[in-house]
Chains A and B, each alone.
Chain A
């Protein structure tokens, strides 16, 4: 158990819908990272927050957005969902702002039908 929690574990929704994925980092970690993992794209970095502020952006679509709240939990919002958005979404946390070891949550499996 990494100490990072993600909810829900599984999510099934239809195309065009909007979902919110939630992540709680390890106690004491200030950075939260979001990743998308799919068979064809592999593990893709989406976005990083540090202590409530956006720090780095990766291959995140405009339909996706995220935020980190004062209690340090984070949410990833996915809208206008397409079939290709079906993937595993991981949250990771680390203590530092710049690349340090990351601790991954168990992931949320999103299926868009």
Chain B
């Protein structure tokens, strides 16, 4: 069955430190992969997406993600976290030719000053 797993429910990092949020997926078809961010009381905002091609994708707000087919992963990274990055982050997967779009359970990021 298709699934998306975000193993970390909560992550705390210090401002200026690097960040990596994990996302693993199980999908039969070639996946389309997405990362979204949700600030408190807000809707979700698309950070970046991967459809094909270069496996390292750049997004908004200085985020990047790397698609690793062999590991079924699409981890989100940022070299230096800002206090304003504190939010909840969702990984999502879809596939061409299907209507299924699955969100992970989210990772809540806390940033220490």
Contacts and interface: CB of A to CB of B under 8 A. Distances in A.
B103 A45 contact: yes
B96 A98 contact: yes
Contacts of A77: none
Contacts, number: 58
B94 A98 contact: yes
Interface in B39-53: 42-46, 49
Contacts of B99: 48, 55-56, 97-99
Contact of B105 (A42, A100, A103, A106): A42
Interface in B65-110: 90, 94-103, 105-106
| Most chain A beta-carbon contacts within 10 A, residue among B32, B94, B101, B105 | B101
Nearest to A6: B43
A45 B96 CA distance: 18
B90 A43 contact: yes
| B interface bracket (residues with beta carbon within 8 Å of A) | 20 to 34
Contact of B106 (A43, A102, A104): A43
B34 interface: yes
Contacts of A107: 42-43
Given A42-B105, A43-B103, A45-B103, A101 B46 contact: yes
A90 B44 contact: yes
Given A42-B105, A43-B90, A43-B106, A99 B42 contact: no
A42 B100 contact: no
Contacts of A2: 43, 45
Contacts of A55: 99
B45 A104 contact: yes
Interface string A25-66: 000000001000000001101001000000110000000000
A14 to B, nearest CB: 24
A27 B94 CA distance: 23
Interface of B: 32, 34, 36, 42-46, 49, 90, 94-103, 105-106
